[in-house]
Structure 1
């Protein structure tokens, strides 16, 4: 079993519902949705959303990890609850549609330091719960293609994109072929128009679980931040 610390809006948030329909699965309930549930979609929609569908709608804070041998799930959940209760909710000023390489995601309109600081605190607070990466897991990250700071992060924190390398993103697609990127951009811009160009409340911390490697990630616990 693996665990992850993610951000996702609350279960009943309109963005959560819309993203679940778009991806084809709700990470809170594990309910599956067919393309028919959201109306017209691009050709190959199910394939183009397969990877983010498995992970559920989220932004990674602490990437998936196996528990260290000295701790239990109860320990993790207790510390997560304490962390959330002592961390103030805040707002990202603007959410926009972004393209990162060959995939699309909802991202902040500009770098927001409170968000960077929040993510870094999550990484460091929950590091004692993470078992060391196996050689296979390190190789899977293709360290030869990472920058030196990213390789150092991978070995120190188990994930390349933390601290100064962290960029908040809520993934909406897998890899989209170059010839289809303009079409996908327009579809997503229309589909998520009610949520882009507007603030996003960071009001909770979610513990996700993966029962076995390759299984869908589901929400084990969603914890409101202080003042949310």
Structure 2
């Protein structure tokens, strides 16, 4: 059975269940066996798989799938938690106030074009309410495959949610923010998410210094 057929069957079964249909045996739509089917070793093919994914409820409310933006050969990879409302509406990253702020953080502090870095999120669809870990778990294989294929030298985790999920540790965000950490052998630095900075503009100065550390790291490895 091909991945496309499998995904279509899952979509149809999920839709039937949402209308109240019951099955003699419980069907686990988010089982490890389903989620861990072999993923392609090509970013374009991976993107196509993500765009036709119906493995979680986010697929029912999304307007667009946001796979990634930027240079897949970049040494630096930014990972946020989820697309913003504006990004979901437009189908492209860096839209809306949070997207504009992130663009300024990259271009004005790192002195590189936003097109020259690689940007993605923990989940590829906008949640209608509060993002939960089951949604992230379902999408995690796609993200891990992205990281494997892009193979960045540095990951920047945007916000406490992205940091906490990626590293799965109990260290307080305030204590590790701006420090070099390790994610599966790749250096990782975390800083505030743009959405947090819009709500808490007093933290922009700290975010600026975090970005300077990121800039310094990139200059030292190049």
Specify if TM > 0.5: no
Larger Rg: 2
**Structure-1-length-normalised TM-score:** 0.24
Name the structure where helix makes up a greater proportion of residues: 2
Name the structure where strand makes up a greater proportion of residues: 1
**Structure-2-length-normalised TM-score:** 0.25
Q: Which has the higher contact order (CA 8 A, sep 6+)?
A: 1
